[in-house]
Chains A and B, each alone.
Chain A
Amino acid sequence: GNSVTQMEGPVTLSEEAFLTINCTYTATGYPSLFWYVQYPGEGLQLLLKATKADDKGSNKGFEATYRKETTSFHLEKGSVQVSDSAVYFCALSDPPNNNDMRFGAGTRLTVKP
Chain B
Amino acid sequence: EPEVTQTPSHQVTQMGQEVILRCVPISNHLYFYWYRQILGQKVEFLVSFYNNEISEKSEIFDDQFSVERPDGSNFTLKIRSTKLEDSAMYFCASSHQRQGRGANVLTFGAGSRLTVL
Interface of A toward B, CB cutoff 8 Å? 32, 34, 36, 41-46, 49, 51, 89, 91, 93-96, 98-106
Q: Beta-carbon contacts of B57-93 to A below 8 Å, as 1s and 0s?
A: 0100000000000000000000000000000000101
B54 on the A face (CB < 8 A) = no
**Cβ-closest chain B residue relative to A103:** B43
> Of B4, B45, B56, which one neighbours A43 at CB under 8 angstroms?
B4
Q: How far is the CB of B73 from chain A (nearest CB, A)?
A: 17
Chain A's closest residue to B111 (CB) is: A43
A51 and B102 contact, CB distance less than 8 A: yes
Interface string of B84-117 (1 = CB under 8 A from A): 0000000101000011111111111111000000
Q: Which A residues are in CB contact (< 8 Å) with B3?
A: 43
A49 touches B100 (CB 8 A): no
Interface size on B, residues (CB 8 A): 30
Nearest A residue to B98, CB-CB: A99
Known: A51-B102, A102-B45, A103-B42; 4 extra A-B contacts, CB below 8 A, are A41-B110, A43-B109, A44-B106, A46-B105
Shortest CB-to-CB span from B39 to chain A, Å, is 11
Looking at chain A's contact residues, is the secondary structure mostly helix, strand, loop, or mixed? strand
- B-chain residues with CB within 8 Å of residue A45 when the two chains form the complex: 108
Distance in angstroms between the alpha carbons of A102 and B42 in the assembled complex = 9
Within the assembled complex, what's the spacing in Å between the Cα atoms of A53 and B110? 31
- Indicate which residue in A43, A46, A98 contacts B91 across the interface (CB closer than 8 Å): A43
CB distance from A44 to the nearest CB of B (A): 4
Q: Are A100 and B42 in contact (CB under 8 A)?
A: no
Q: Which residues of A contact B91 (CB under 8 A)?
A: 43-44
